[in-house]
Amino acid sequence: MDNRPQKALAEMVFIGEIVLQSKIAELAAKRLSAITKNFDQIEVWSSIQSILVATGNVSKILWPQEKKYAVRGKRLRELLKVDEGNLLSDRKFRNHFEHYDDRIEKWFKGKSSAVYSDLAIDSFKSMKRNFPSNHHRAYDPLTQTLTFRGESFDLTAVLKELKEIRIKCRAFALP
């Protein structure tokens, strides 16, 4: 039995999903930039989480966690000319948000202090001098930088990579 037509259809479905997820991230980024007019802290974090989840979904398609799907990921990366070490291959930052419960458990395990700071939205320029070592999630709207316990993540760079991959997907669009 010839599996080629089914395999080709599956590849198109995955490419369609990459396009969808990149559009979701792009829409969330537009909401995030519009928030400066009508500030809403929940909308800020909702938009950031949407970007991270959509980016993670694209990452899982192109760099599957399960070894049995590794060939699929490699094939899609080859079709779309996406480098193995692309920025989107690293899901560490998305995992900080998706597995936040685990991060909280580990933070408080064995701590002698209950000091906890979270969800800062400010320019890091003003925060750098007194940036608390116990600060968890922070967002700098001026640089579009997300920080988790001192690690930084450039949302602009991630959104740029998603857009570039979406553009590459156009070559495989069905008529």
102-128 pLDDT, tens per residue?
998 888 887 766 778 899 887 655 445
Is the pLDDT reported for residue 2 higher than 70? yes
Q: Which of 59, 68, 123 is closest to 95 using CA atoms? A: 59
Rounded CA-CA distance 55/28 in Å is 11
Rounded CA-CA distance 169/115 in Å is 47
pLDDT for residue 60? 97
Please say whether the beta carbons of 32 and 175 come within 8 A: no
- Model confidence, pTM: 0.89
37-81 pLDDT, tens per residue?
778 999 999 999 999 999 999 999 999 999 999 999 999 999 999
